[in-house]
A and B are shown apart, each in its own frame.
Chain A
Amino acid sequence: MKKDLSMKDGTSKKGTLGEVLHSQGVSRRSFMKFCATTASMMALPPAMIPMIAKALENAKRPSVIWLSFQECTGCTESLTRAHTPSLESLIFESISLDYHHTLQAASGEAAEAAREAAMEENFGNYLLVVDGSIPLDNPGYSTIAGISNLEMLTESAKGAAAIIAVGTCATYGGIPHANPNPTGAVSVKDIIKDKPIINVPGCPPIPVVITGVLAHYLTFGSIPELDHIGRPKVFYGQSIHDRCYRRPFYDKGHFAETFDDEGAKKGWCLFKLGCRGPTTYNACATTKWNNGTSFPIESGHPCLGCSEPDFWDGGGFYKALSMPTEDISKTAVYAAAGAAAAGAAIGALNRGKKNASNKIHIKTTIEDLRK
């Protein structure tokens, strides 16, 4: 049966998760299964399942306002996985999703009225979820109902108990922030300084990691322990490399040199093909994707490092981490004359790229469309 992910009508906002599930005819045995899976998705020891069951049963349903800015909707798609209704979608039964402009039926003024009403009714207590980066160069680059992203974020953040930044765009600026960052894109944390912010990066994040963070908030009523860049340690505490099943090959020095050599066929380490596993912190190697089917390295492709800041500007996805990101000696030699610093050379290189991009960019005109 497909779970309803549409807006709640407000009549069931009150009450606990246990009451909501009971009213839907969910048996105790089903609830135990739900709790066991929730513990697994939160990477908590199975011994905590009874405690999770007790806490979730009594959890109040929080109001959630979800804002989408400069993004591709991949994060929402990852989360809802509309083609695969799953046990995790029960998490959505446990929140009151009061505003999400991709999922909600309302539009225009009615949608904005719903957001304002939810903010007023739950001031100080609602969760604010944000995906997408915020453009600062020109407010007109991205607006919703005529409201700039910056204005909507700062206004909605005022009454939030906590903010969950979902996806690498909201957490670190992501692809919009990539060099040359034409819109002046920044992350949520660059703007909001006075609220607890949980960063859930990934392009997109693993769906169960998103729901796991929500489940943690529901279970414990607090935000999880975070690392130095705001990510929940329970999901981002270990590198892909440390948990990778190909790690023994790295330790022995067995590497695939190309995508079709003997090493690749034997499943050897992909480090020399550019794998970012050693510098990337995420749960892909254990939680995996598509209901635990596999993850990129298992499919034979190096990790791109999509949950790390500036992953797009790493100098090429297929260069080994041990290689320099740009060949300064060849491409920026003109700027490196005398004692010029490498930083200045890279800056010149970036400006050069931006100028070259601008030169080859040809605007489409009405006449072109009529051809």
Chain B
Amino acid sequence: MSTSAFNIQTSNELTRNVRPILFEVRHALDALLDKGETSIIDLRSIPLAPGEEETILKTLGQGEVHARLNALGPSEIYETRYAGVWLITHYNEDEAMVSRFIEITRLPDILKSQTEDMSKALTELTQALGTQDT
């Protein structure tokens, strides 16, 4: 059977949610610059037709920073071509997407080293050095 039998066709007439989301991003970026307010938009909470999320991602593009976390499965984090607008995609251990956010901030919190992890790291490093000394 031809694979074209499974081709899902999309239309130009879709939800019309793409531009409102992009305007929301613009508004949030303005608030970040003006008042220092950060914002997060959950892309899974908005009805989007096949192809519309890709349109949003394509419009935002990719900027200078790209990070990959390995925490309970991978996470892809990159700054879009618009500084201060970040795309964060979390995957599970099977690399299936579990959540996707647009975060408008100077640096997403999840990229920063966390206090609890640093405390644990300090203990481990101290132990490691102590072991080396003996």
Contacts and interface: CB of A to CB of B under 8 A. Distances in A.
Interface stretch (B56-64, B78-86, B108-116, B125-133): B108-116
A37 B97 CA distance: 10
Given A29-B110, A32-B114, A300-B8, A90 B15 contact: no
A244 interface: yes
B72 A33 contact: yes
A85 B109 contact: no
A355 interface: no
Contact of B13 (A33, A248, A299): A248
Interface string B3-16: 00000111101111
Contacts of B22: none
Interface residues of A, number: 47
Interface in A257-278: 265-268
A73 interface: no
A87 interface: yes
Contacts of B101: 36, 40, 46
B2 interface: no
A32 B44 contact: no
B49 interface: yes
B42 A28 contact: no
B93 A265 contact: no
A43 B94 contact: no
Interface in B24-62: 40-42, 44-50, 52
Contacts of A285: 47
Interface residues of B, number: 40
A245 interface: yes
Contacts of B45: 40, 43, 286
Contact of A286 (B40, B44, B50): B44
A329 interface: no
A47 interface: yes
A188 interface: no
A14 B116 CA distance: 22
Contacts of A300: 8
A351 B110 CA distance: 62
A50 to B, nearest CB: 9
A41 B50 CA distance: 20
Interface string A29-65: 1101110110111010111010000000000000000
B94 A85 contact: yes
A36 B44 CA distance: 12
A33 B75 contact: yes
Given A29-B71, A40-B45, A245 B15 contact: yes
A291 interface: yes
B96 to A, nearest CB: 4
B10 A34 contact: no
A245 B14 contact: yes
Given A245-B15, A252-B13, 18 more contacts: A27-B116, A28-B114, A29-B114, A33-B75, A36-B88, A36-B101, A36-B110, A37-B90, A37-B99, A46-B42, A47-B40, A85-B93, A86-B96, A87-B93, A245-B47, A245-B48, A247-B15, A248-B15
Interface of B: 8-11, 13-16, 40-42, 44-50, 52, 69, 71-73, 75, 88, 90, 92-94, 96-99, 101, 109-110, 114-117
13 contacts: A29-B69, A33-B71, A34-B72, A36-B110, A40-B98, A41-B99, A84-B92, A87-B92, A245-B14, A246-B49, A248-B15, A266-B11, A291-B96
